[in-house]
Amino acid sequence: MANILELVNISKSFDNELILDELNLEIRENTFMTLLGPSGCGKTTTLRIIGGFTRQDSGQVLFQGKDITELPPNKRQFNTVFQKYALFPHMNVGENIAYGLKISGKSKSYIDSKIEYALKLVNMDGYRNRAVSALSGGQQQRIAIARAIVNEPKVLLLDEPLGALDLKLRQELQYELIRLKNELGITFIYVTHDQEEALTMSDTVVVMNQGYIQQMGSPENIYNEPENAFVATFIGDSNIIDSLMLRDRLVQICGTAFPCVDEGFGINRPVDVVIRPEDVILDEPGRGQLDGVVTHLVFQGVHYEMEVMAGGFEWLVQSTQIQPVGKEVSLRVDPENIQIMSKPASEDEEAMVIDA
């Protein structure tokens, strides 16, 4: 598959503060790509540069191999779904959807059929003559999506489109977006700071922090093999432990040697270890690899979340089995669930990775 979009060495500052620093990103045709990162990390800025609303200080935006830096937003074959819906309040639902089609000079019958088609697509049949102000937030966002897709953009840009909605509606629309993406066969670039949303919806997740790309990969890849401590903490809860790589396939965690599956980190090298809380198995004292005491217990619906003090580290553990506070337990971790990450080489690099 070819790259439909490419960002090449994009830098952008606001008020002398560097927001994006030499960002490079390749976006394949027909993928659902998500930009994920904490608030203020430059996601919206990246999206606005792609859409043509913000001009980068340096670098290029390539669309199908051609530099489109000089093209204004109305000349780019992208459409955007904005965070705050941005529907036109003095137009009704149908007029909102027709806006782009009228500008491109489509015939009345074409526009009519497109409006009906789009309303059906977003499950809003029969709302054509409603006033925009008479719609709920979720309905407004559906109309905003319909208004964007009737123009048949090559790329659909979505900036936290579900951010203002409640959980149930958000999940409902998440599935609808995935369905839309599959039906329309266009490229989606989706911005969110919600890691669950990113993992559910995307083909490719790009984790950003402070204007740098931390890791890019499939949701499974990002979740199971975080490349650094930032990604590991940002994507779900995890135990990140200062450890020592004794040799290939053996790592010393909290003073105890644990077999693992990673190789090539050298001998006696300091590393970071990531262990997901659901991968820590609790057993009777003495039966596991490391003994400890339960210090906290919270019921979280699907499972219990516990903290276990063991080897001088407070381990986060999730299990469906309850272990009361004060109980002595033993921890065990399967080798393939231990994820080794190299320590950042320099302090500078550490700042760019860890600072949140």
Ligand X SMILES: Nc1ncnc2c1ncn2[C@@H]1O[C@H](COP(=O)(O)OP(=O)(O)OP(=O)(O)O)[C@@H](O)[C@H]1O
SS3 category, 114:
helix
How many Cβ atoms sit within 10 Å of the Cβ of residue 21? 15
For ligand X, the nearest residue by Cβ is 44
Name the minimum Å distance from CB 160 to ligand X: 6
SS3 category, 146:
helix
Per-residue burial over 300-317, b = 16 or more CB atoms within 10 Å of its CB, e = otherwise: eeebbbbbbebbebebbb
**Among 40, 138, 311, 344, which residue interacts with ligand X (rule: CB under 6 A)?**
40
Interface segment toward ligand X; rule CB under 6 A; list 40-48, 138-146, 171-179, 239-247: 40-48
Name the minimum Å distance from CB 11 to ligand X: 13
Name the minimum Å distance from CB 85 to another protein: 9
* Residues 74, 4: Cα–Cα separation, whole Å: 18
Task: List the alpha helices (DSSP H) in the chain.
Answer: 43-51, 93-103, 108-121, 137-149, 167-184, 195-201, 219-224, 229-234, 347-354
DSSP 131: B
Name the minimum Å distance from CB 52 to another protein: 8
**Among 34, 44, 202, 289, which residue interacts with ligand X (rule: CB under 6 A)?**
44
SS3 category, 288:
coil
SS3 category, 158:
strand
**Among 19, 23, 34, 44, which residue interacts with Mg ion (rule: CB under 5 A)?**
44
CB of 332 closer than 8 Å to CB of 323: no
Per-residue burial over 160-175, b = 16 or more CB atoms within 10 Å of its CB, e = otherwise: bbbeebeeebbeebbe
Q: Which does 41 bind (CB under 5 to 8 A by kind): another protein, ligand X, Mg ion, none?
A: ligand X
Q: Which of residues 97-156 bind another protein (CB under 8 A)?
A: 99-100, 103-104, 131, 133-136, 147-148, 151
Asked if 209 interacts with Mg ion (CB under 5 A), we say no
* Residues 291, 298: Cα–Cα separation, whole Å: 21
Site string for ligand X, 171-210 (x = CB under 6 A): ----------------------x-----------------
**Among 41, 275, 306, 340, which residue interacts with ligand X (rule: CB under 6 A)?**
41
Asked if 94 interacts with another protein (CB under 8 A), we say no
Name the minimum Å distance from CB 155 to ligand X: 18
Q: Which does 74 bind (CB under 5 to 8 A by kind): Mg ion, ligand X, another protein, none?
A: another protein
CB of 209 closer than 8 Å to CB of 257: no
Q: Measure Cα distances from 291 to 21, 45, 330 in Å.
A: 45, 48, 4
Q: Measure Cα distances from 306 to 137, 272, 280, 337 in Å.
A: 37, 22, 11, 18
Nearer to ligand X, 93 or 199 (CB): 199
Asked if 110 interacts with ligand X (CB under 6 A), we say no
**Among 22, 58, 73, 120, which residue interacts with another protein (rule: CB under 8 A)?**
73
Number of amino acids touching ligand X (CB under 6 A): 12
Q: Which does 170 bind (CB under 5 to 8 A by kind): another protein, Mg ion, ligand X, none?
A: none
Judged by the rule CB under 5 A, the positions of this chain that interact with Mg ion are 44
Residues that bind ligand X (CB under 6 A): 14-15, 19, 37, 39-45, 193
Residues at the contact surface with another protein, assessed by CB under 8 A: 51, 53, 72-74, 78-80, 82, 84, 86-90, 99-100, 103-104, 131, 133-136, 147-148, 151
